[in-house]
Structure 1
Amino acid sequence: MRRSEFLRAASDEFGARASSMTHDLVLGGIGLTSVEALDAGVPPRDIWLALCDETDVPVERRYGVGRLDPRGRRP
């Protein structure tokens, strides 16, 4: 997962709340907000999974999100 995919996944999952979730919510397993963790070099996939754990995102919505399909359109 790339940074752009992480941000797209957060936006898709949390909508208008994505910015506050990634800037304000400290992730228990990481000890930083998502944005701080990205800036610190934590792999985006690890941040995404920690954010999902913290916010109880169902497992079926955790994997493969944020990726564009081969034609460049969102799934």
Structure 2
Amino acid sequence: MRRSEFLRAVEDEFGGRANSITHDLVLSALGSTALEALEAGVPPRDIWLAVCDETDVPAGRRYGVGRLEPRRR
């Protein structure tokens, strides 16, 4: 998962609360916010899973999110 995919996944899952989730929510598994973890070099996939755990995102919505649909030719 890339940083852009992580940010897209948070936006898709949390909508208007995405900014608060990434800036304000301290992830207990990481001991920091999502943005602090990104800046510290934590892999975006690990941060996404920590956000999912912290906010009780169902397992069915955790994997493969954030990716754009392939362009059609």
- TM-score for the superposition, normalised by structure 2: 0.96
Deviation digits for residues 7-52 of structure 1, max 9, x if unmatched?
A: 0000000000000010000001000100000000000000000000
Partner of 2:31: 31
Q: Distance in 1 between matches of 2:20 and 2:68?
A: 24
CA RMSD of superposed structures (Å): 1.0
Q: Distance in 1 between matches of 2:45 and 2:7?
A: 11
Question: Whose strand proportion is higher, 1 or 2?
Answer: 2
Unaligned runs of 5+ in 1: none
Partner of 1:60: 60
How many residues get paired?
A: 72
Large movers: runs of 4+ above 2 Å: none
The question of 1:47 aligning with 2:47 is answered yes
**One-letter amino acid matched to 1:35:** L
Partner of 2:20: 20
